């Protein structure tokens, strides 16, 4: 029933790992050919693969794991998806119903374990319920503010003694769950009035625009208003970053001009971002002169961390449509923004050319210049997946995205190890697209066993390992806050990545001087059908800047090791 | 401020733990909690009293509403409402105390529902303040055991919390 349902639901790939409690399901998978199963090497990787796929395509990722350790291994991936509102359905095998509660072999209360990190969860109580429960799981995972849904399936539910008729439930109705639709027209009018009057406005887009497939409407709104546009880390790609209205993303390591503009603005129009602490810095000092319009599908996101002047609960798409049509109707000129734009350009100019010193010739490269080189060689068109650390921030700062869904990173949870499996999930489903993983030697080692999965299924991702021989981001904080006492942040005894990667049958390359950078990258990306791992030795002393000062306002930033605002 | 939030939720396994878990997960405070099925066996009604400023209460109601099992909820303290809690208390009652306890119980309109030569068991319903006052009046040296159900409540007048 489960496999028939998944096929009918249009699921092409699922990611998982077998075990006792899931074996009936695995047998059913074996006896059909519509739903393909990808065997990972660790259940966490299955969840990240499903997650990467979901982020790139907007469709829900599907995971299948066994009970107990299989399910608990998936927990980090579920939490990662939860924090970034990624649609995912995780099917967990469970011990037989009559054994539940008896500490049976491989029994874990996975519903209990995952309760705070799922949008919802179900336990199958009767085999006949399977299609409807799964339908509800997919419905909940994909609608409203998306998120992961766990379905716990006791083994006896998948081998019933009686036969039950299978009917694919076309519709689902739940009295206790109605995703929000259009925003309140009065509130939208208020927001538009503010937009008509603002002298120092800023548009702030979040991951909700990407998830809600409304980036085009967002761009139309920006064009119509000529407002400067910033995004959250998750919103990168919602607005073309090479466009002149884009002022970069904001927050802890966001652009100088975006953070300055936020602080000095008189109107922030936020669509689909949740004002988390890495975006706002100290909320008490946040945007002191701005009125704030906040559009979100999730009412609980509004007013959670900061006060909001015009809350609008609705889908980004519908609210943007309503805003655009209202703007067409309203009379009257908007204030001239040229002074505001001039100010922003000054901020921008004051920083350009001073962001980092690229290395030359035989020097160890700066991680920033490697990302810029990757951007060039992929013509800015790649799907870029990252792990977590300095390399992640450098990737976000120096790879410019012009399209949504191509920036794939664990923002909310910051999960090291996310990168490789997520990149695999993207590549498997988008074989014709360039998929690059930008990782660090620390993060990569958390999921490197998946190189094996890549060999099995022929998944030719390109891996750029920004190897600074240290847990760089931790080291940076230790430099700044602990007088450079580098407690446990130096990764000693690194493997010979080249040999390691080659032992799985992949191609490995190494760059240790600036002169080789472009040529080796060209060579790596020319190998279309191969997984290529490029080990790039970068300067371990480099820090990520700007960096907002703890407890400061948006505009309080360290700009280099010696300068601050 | 103290709020009484009354919730109709699916009468399903796991629903209660989701509500309770939400409070601890998000650092919200629960003072009392009371839950039972309703006339509609598919629904249970849960009443929780909590304290917090407006922003926190707004978050609590929004987060509760977001739970898939929650069908409907109301913050009773936003309007006129009736609040009741039941108390069962076992007190020492020997000698002169017997008359004293009996009189106090009558003043509070409680009932003595079980008796032994040395003990009274008393039942009392009322709002939380009244129960506190009664316990105070009995005095801590007579109290042997105190059981409170937690607050339940209902809106005054025409307002109804139903589907
Ligand atoms: C699973 C997990 N454990 C710990 C951390 C804390 N952490 C954040 S960044 C970082 C260092 C990452 O090192 P590396 O992958 O080499 O990247 P770099 O910062 O050096 O570029 C650590 C340990 C985390 N984010 N995730
Ligand atoms: Mg590193």
Confidence of residue A467 (pLDDT cuts 50, 70, 90): very high
Any atom of ligand 1 within 6 Å of the Cβ of A476: no
Lowest mean pLDDT across A81-90, A352-361, A436-445, A475-484? A352-361
State the best of B45, B59, B61, B62 to mutate against chain A, taking most chain A CBs within 10 Å. B62
Is a pLDDT exceeding 70 seen at residue A491? no
Q: How far apart are the first and last CA of chain A?
A: 61
State the best of B11, B12, B14 to mutate against chain A, taking most chain A CBs within 10 Å. B14
* Residue A162 pLDDT: 85
Which amino acids of A are annotated catalytic?
43, 105-106, 155, 473
Chain-chain contact of B58 with A174 (C-beta, under 8 angstroms): no
How many angstroms does the Cα of residue A489 sit away from the middle of ligand 2?
Answer: 9
Q: What is the pLDDT of residues B56-98, one digit of tens each?
A: 999 999 999 999 999 999 999 999 999 999 999 999 999 999 9
Report which of B153, B26, B131 is spatially closest to residue B82, judged by C-alpha positions: B153
* Residue A122 pLDDT: 97
Average pLDDT score, chain A: 96
Percentage above 90 pLDDT, chain A? 93
**Mean pLDDT, rounded, for A441-470:** 98
* Residue B141 pLDDT: 85
Q: Which ligand 1 atom is nearest residue A392's CA?
A: 21
| Chain A residues with beta carbon closer than 8 angstroms to that of B58 | 303
B14 touches chain A (CB under 8 A): yes
Q: How far A56 CA sits from the closest chain B CA (Å)?
A: 26
B9 touches chain A (CB under 8 A): yes
The pair phi, psi for residue A24, each rounded to 5°, is: -60, -40
Q: Which of A364, A416, A470, A538 has most ligand 1 atoms within 8 Å of CB, for mutation?
A: A416
Q: Which ligand 1 atom is nearest residue A367's CA?
A: 21
User: Which position has the token pair 């105070």?
Assistant: B136
Is a pLDDT exceeding 90 seen at residue A396? yes
All structural domains of chain A, each given as residue ranges with its CATH number in brackets, are 2-158 (3.40.50.970), 185-351 (3.40.50.1220), 367-544 (3.40.50.970)
Spatial distance between the Cα atoms of A433 and A413, rounded to a whole number of angstroms: 27
Chain-chain contact of B17 with A303 (C-beta, under 8 angstroms): no
Q: What is the pLDDT of residues A324-354, one digit of tens each?
A: 999 999 888 899 999 999 999 999 999 876 6
Confidence of residue A361 (pLDDT cuts 50, 70, 90): confident
Please report, for chain B, how many H helices and E strands are present, in that order: 4, 9
Confidence of residue A67 (pLDDT cuts 50, 70, 90): very high
Q: What is the pLDDT of residues B129-159, one digit of tens each?
A: 999 999 999 998 899 999 999 999 999 999 9
Is a pLDDT exceeding 80 seen at residue A215? yes
Q: Which ligand 1 atom is nearest residue A468's CA?
A: 20
Chain-chain contact of A116 with B70 (C-beta, under 8 angstroms): no
How many angstroms does the Cα of residue A466 sit away from the middle of ligand 1?
Answer: 12
B106 touches chain A (CB under 8 A): no
Percentage above 70 pLDDT, chain A? 99
Spatial distance between the Cα atoms of A466 and A399, rounded to a whole number of angstroms: 14
User: Which position has the token pair 């010739």?
Assistant: A361
A125: nearest CA partner in chain B: B13
List A547's β-bridge partners, or say none. Answer: A558
**Mean pLDDT, rounded, for B28-41:** 95
Any atom of ligand 1 within 6 Å of the Cβ of A386: no
* Residue A102 pLDDT: 94
* Residue A188 pLDDT: 98
**Cα-trace Rg, chain A:** 24
A302: nearest CA partner in chain B: B59
B73: nearest CA partner in chain A: A176
* Residue B128 pLDDT: 93
Spatial distance between the Cα atoms of A94 and B67, rounded to a whole number of angstroms: 24
CB A428 within 8 A of CB A61: no
Ligand located closest to A394 CA: 1
How many angstroms does the Cα of residue A256 sit away from the middle of ligand 1?
Answer: 24
State the best of B68, B70, B73 to mutate against chain A, taking most chain A CBs within 10 Å. B68
| Cα-based angle A208, A204, A141 (whole degrees, multiple of 5) | 5
Spatial distance between the Cα atoms of A439 and B20, rounded to a whole number of angstroms: 39
* Residue A362 pLDDT: 81
| Chain B residues with beta carbon closer than 8 angstroms to that of A179 | none
Q: Tell me the residues surrounding ligand 2 (ion) with CB < 5 Å.
A: A 440-442, 468, 472
B85 touches chain A (CB under 8 A): no
User: Which position has the token pair 């979040």?
Assistant: A206
What B42-45 contacts at long range (C-beta under 8 Å, 24+ apart), as own/partner pairs, is: B42/B10, B42/B11, B43/B8, B43/B9, B43/B10, B43/B11, B43/B71, B43/B163, B44/B8, B44/B9, B44/B10, B44/B11, B44/B15, B44/B16, B45/B6, B45/B7, B45/B8, B45/B9, B45/B152, B45/B161
* Residue A353 pLDDT: 66
Residue B7, classed as helix, strand or coil, is strand
Chain-chain contact of A121 with B14 (C-beta, under 8 angstroms): yes
The pair phi, psi for residue B118, each rounded to 5°, is: -120, 0
What is the DSSP code string of A252-305?
TT--HHHHHHHHH-SEEEEES----HHHHSSGGGSSTT-EEEEEES-GGGTTSS
Spatial distance between the Cα atoms of A514 and A503, rounded to a whole number of angstroms: 27
- The angle that helices A215-225 and A316-329 make with each other, rounded to 10 degrees, is 30
All structural domains of chain B, each given as residue ranges with its CATH number in brackets, are 2-79 (3.30.70.260), 82-152 (3.30.70.1150)
Please report, for chain A, how many H helices and E strands are present, in that order: 22, 20
**Mean pLDDT, rounded, for A289-304:** 97
Is a pLDDT exceeding 90 seen at residue A185? yes
Is a pLDDT exceeding 90 seen at residue A364? no
* Residue A205 pLDDT: 98
Q: Which ligand 1 atom is nearest residue A466's CA?
A: 21
**Mean pLDDT, rounded, for B101-108:** 96
Is a pLDDT exceeding 80 seen at residue A504? yes
Spatial distance between the Cα atoms of A480 and A546, rounded to a whole number of angstroms: 13
CB B153 within 8 A of CB B47: yes
How many angstroms does the Cα of residue A518 sit away from the middle of ligand 2?
Answer: 21
pTM here? Answer: 0.95
Chain-chain contact of B21 with A303 (C-beta, under 8 angstroms): no
Q: How would you label B69-79 residue by residue, b for 16+ Cβ within 10 Å and e otherwise? A: bbbebbbbbee
How many angstroms does the Cα of residue A370 sit away from the middle of ligand 1?
Answer: 19
CB A368 within 8 A of CB A355: yes
**Mean pLDDT, rounded, for A99-124:** 96
* Residue B62 pLDDT: 97
* Residue A271 pLDDT: 98
Work out whether strand A148-154 and strand A462-467 pair parallel, antiparallel, or are unpaired: unpaired
Confidence of residue A239 (pLDDT cuts 50, 70, 90): very high
Residue nearest to atom 20 of ligand 1 (CA): A472
Chain-chain contact of B58 with A116 (C-beta, under 8 angstroms): no
Q: Which ligand 1 atom is nearest residue A439's CA?
A: 15
């Amino acid at each position: 029933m489960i496999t028939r349902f998944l096929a009918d639901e249009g699921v092409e790939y699922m990611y998982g790992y077998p075990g006792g409690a899931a074996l009936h399901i695995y047998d059913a998978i074996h006896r059909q050919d519509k739903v393909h199963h990808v065997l990972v090497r660790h259940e966490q990787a299955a969840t990240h693969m499903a997650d990467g796929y979901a982020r790139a395509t907007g469709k829900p990722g599907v995971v299948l794991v066994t009970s107990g350790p299989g399910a608990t291994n998936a927990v980090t991936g579920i939490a990662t998806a939860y924090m970034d509102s990624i649609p995912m359905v995780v099917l967990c095998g469970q011990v037989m119903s009559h054994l539940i509660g008896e500490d049976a072999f491989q029994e874990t209360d996975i519903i209990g374990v995952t309760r705070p990190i799922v949008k919802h969860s179900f336990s199958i109580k009767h085999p006949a319920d399977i299609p409807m429960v799964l339908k509800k799981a997919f419905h909940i995972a994909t609608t409203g503010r998306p998120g992961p849904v766990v379905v716990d399936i006791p083994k006896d539910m998948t081998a019933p003694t009686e036969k039950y008729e299978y009917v694919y439930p076309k519709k689902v109705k739940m009295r206790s769950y109605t995703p929000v639709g259009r925003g309140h027209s009065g509130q939208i009018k208020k927001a538009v009035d503010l937009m008509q009057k603002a002298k120092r406005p800023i548009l702030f887009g979040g991951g909700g625009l990407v998830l809600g497939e409304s980036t085009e409407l967002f761009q139309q709104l920006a064009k119509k208003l000529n407002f400067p546009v910033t995004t959250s880390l998750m919103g990168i790609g919602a607005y073309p970053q090479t466009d002149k209205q884009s002022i970069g993303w904001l927050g802890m390591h966001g652009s100088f001009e975006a953070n300055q503009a936020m602080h000095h603005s008189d109107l922030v129009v936020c669509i689909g971002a949740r004002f988390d602490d890495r975006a706002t810095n100290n909320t008490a000092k946040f945007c002191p002169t701005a009125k704030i319009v906040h559009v979100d599908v999730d009412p609980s996101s509004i007013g959670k961390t900061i006060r909001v002047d015009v809350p609008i609960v609705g889908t980004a798409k519908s609210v943007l449509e309503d805003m655009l049509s209202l703007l067409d109707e309203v009379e009257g000129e908007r204030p001239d923004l040229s002074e505001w734009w001039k100010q922003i350009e000054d901020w921008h100019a004051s920083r350009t050319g001073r962001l980092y010193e690229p290395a030359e010739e035989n020097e160890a490269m700066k991680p920033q210049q490697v990302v810029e080189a990757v951007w060039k060689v992929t013509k800015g068109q790649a799907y870029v997946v990252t792990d977590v650390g300095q390399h992640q921030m450098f990737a976000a700062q120096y790879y410019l995205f012009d399209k949504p869904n191509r920036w794939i990173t664990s923002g909310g949870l910051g999960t090291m190890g996310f990168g490789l499996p997520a990149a695999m999930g993207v590549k498997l489903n988008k074989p014709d697209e360039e998929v690059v993983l930008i990782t660090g030697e620390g993060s990569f080692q958390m999921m490197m066993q998946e190189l094996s999965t890549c060999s099995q299924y022929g998944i030719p991702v390109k891996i750029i390992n920004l190897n600074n021989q240290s847990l760089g981001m931790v080291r940076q904080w230790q430099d700044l806050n602990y007088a450079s006492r580098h407690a446990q942040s130096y990764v000693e005894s690194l493997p010979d990545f080249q040999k390691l990667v080659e032992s799985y049958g992949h191609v490995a390359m190494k760059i240790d001087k600036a002169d080789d950078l472009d040529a080796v990258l060209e060579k790596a990306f020319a190998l279309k059908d191969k997984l290529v791992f490029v080990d790039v030795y970068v300067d371990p002393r480099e820090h990520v800047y700007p960096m907002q000062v703890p407890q400061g306002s948006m505009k309080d930033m360290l700009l280099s090791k010696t300068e601050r605002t | 401020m103290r709020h009484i939030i009354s919730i109709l939720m699916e009468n399903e396994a796991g629903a209660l733990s989701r509500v309770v878990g939400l409070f601890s997960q998000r650092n919200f405070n629960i003072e009392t909690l009371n839950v039972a099925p309703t006339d509609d066996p598919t629904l249970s009604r849960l009443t929780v009293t909590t304290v917090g400023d407006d922003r926190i209460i707004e978050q609590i109601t929004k987060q509760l509403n977001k739970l898939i099992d929650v069908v409907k909820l109301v913050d009773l303290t936003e309007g006129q409402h009736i609040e009741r809690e039941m108390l069962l208390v076992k007190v020492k009652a020997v000698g002169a105390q017997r008359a004293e306890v009996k009189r106090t119980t009558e003043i509070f309109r409680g009932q003595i529902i079980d008796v032994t030569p040395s003990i009274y068991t008393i039942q009392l319903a009322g709002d939380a303040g009244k129960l506190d006052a009664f316990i105070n009046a009995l005095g801590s040296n007579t109290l042997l055991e105190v059981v409170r159900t937690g607050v339940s409540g209902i809106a005054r007048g025409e307002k109804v919390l139903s589907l």
